[in-house]
Chain A
């Protein structure tokens, strides 16, 4: 196992890249997810159709294909070049945004039209009601689904190997090729993913309990 230490700086770089891709995808995807969910629930038919076309494209095609399209197809079409990192970020943002839209829409609908009605009865505009009544509740109950999306996206970023981004899995591939010890290398890589995801999931569980709405989740 000693040889792994020699490659530790590389693994750390790879891990940092994995965290960056996940964080960018999740956070910008979150903004897209919230806006898309609100647009789908409260916007008109046309807006809703556009949003769903976007969502279905990213949910309905393989991630690898999406990466190829953004790295090869679109730049070729536009007669330009794109660096792998930018292409990767775009895909993870749009892909995660599509999934998060589904989760957030579900949460908004679980909060229900009646809460909207109560807010409107006080004279709130639709926007004020969404901002002060619907979202504060929807974003609390969406945390478990959102945690799921974190787990899923973290592992999905390993697919970035196909467009040569040096994230954790790519680093594992390189080290394994140089050392001919795939067994130890991939076990190590898997362990890093596992520990990272486990730590974040535990944190999200704590957050969920801390901000829960009384009466919405079973209390001990």
Chain B
């Protein structure tokens, strides 16, 4: 079996009196594509943010290739360079061109010389087919183009795993397609990825495994076909029915 890249053990997270995660455990192995889905407010974003250590879990551990990130004294900045993150709200740096958005982390964090960083950033933009828009500012790109730059920004750092937090939820259906194509391409290349999404048809073909999360707990895990043909839990079955009904209309 391939090596485990990222692992969560019994993660809990509460925001004051709202408990967003109630003991979530999961493993993502080298080259695996996992999809996590579930209703709004079920804890998907919180889970992804905890895995990237962008917020601290209240309890439980996160391991990156066996190294415990939740232990005291760990260099989290270094760990975050190894975990790519793509945001639902995209969050490009407004004041930088597409190219500089991708190059900034390379220069500032990985201390690459300027020219080398630009070259590497250009390669990443090529990978998401955005090289023609390298000199455009985010405000002058469509939402789908912006998100592809967001993906390139994560890719350029050569992360060992990429976490996608509903990467197409802020896009209309037409723009959603181009972003999903990009992610599909990455899946084919064997990238290790965890994707929170409601795009079930995409999940069906791209995911090795799907996880259904509700109310801060993973209720069901299995291959995509299981969710499409015969979900084991009633809650997942009802949610799938809703999603597919919406698509069918």
Contacts and interface: CB of A to CB of B under 8 A. Distances in A.
Interface of A: 114-115, 117-125, 128, 132-133, 136-137, 140, 213-216
B91 A120 contact: no
Given A117-B54, A215-B139, A123 B91 contact: no
Contacts of A133: 93, 104
B164 interface: no
Contacts of A136: 95
A140 B94 CA distance: 11
Given A117-B91, A133-B93, A137-B94, A122 B105 contact: yes
Contact of A122 (B81, B89, B140): B81
Given A123-B109, A123-B157, A128-B108, A118 B94 contact: no
A213 B77 contact: no
A140 B95 CA distance: 9
Nearest to B90: A118
B94 A121 contact: no
A118 B77 contact: no
Contacts of B78: 123
Which of A121, A214, A215, A216 has the most C-beta atoms of chain B within 10 angstroms of its own C-beta? A121
A215 B94 CA distance: 8
Contact of B94 (A125, A128, A213): A213
Contacts of A137: 93-95
B52 interface: yes
B95 A123 contact: no
B137 A215 contact: yes
Contacts of B81: 122-123
B109 A124 contact: yes
A216 B94 contact: yes
Contacts of B91: 114-115, 117-118
B80 interface: yes
Given A132-B108, A137-B94, A215-B94, A121 B139 contact: no
B144 interface: no
A124 B137 contact: no
Contacts of A132: 104, 108
Interface string B57-98: 000000000000000000001111110010101011111000
23 contacts: A115-B94, A117-B91, A118-B93, A121-B80, A121-B154, A122-B80, A122-B81, A122-B104, A122-B157, A123-B78, A123-B81, A123-B157, A124-B108, A125-B77, A128-B108, A132-B104, A137-B94, A213-B137, A213-B139, A214-B94, A214-B139, A215-B137, A215-B138
A20 B132 CA distance: 49
B153 interface: yes
Interface in B101-121: 104-105, 108-109
Given A118-B87, A118-B91, 12 more contacts: A114-B87, A115-B93, A122-B153, A122-B154, A122-B157, A123-B81, A123-B109, A132-B104, A133-B104, A137-B93, A214-B137, A214-B139
A214 B93 CA distance: 11
A162 B39 CA distance: 68
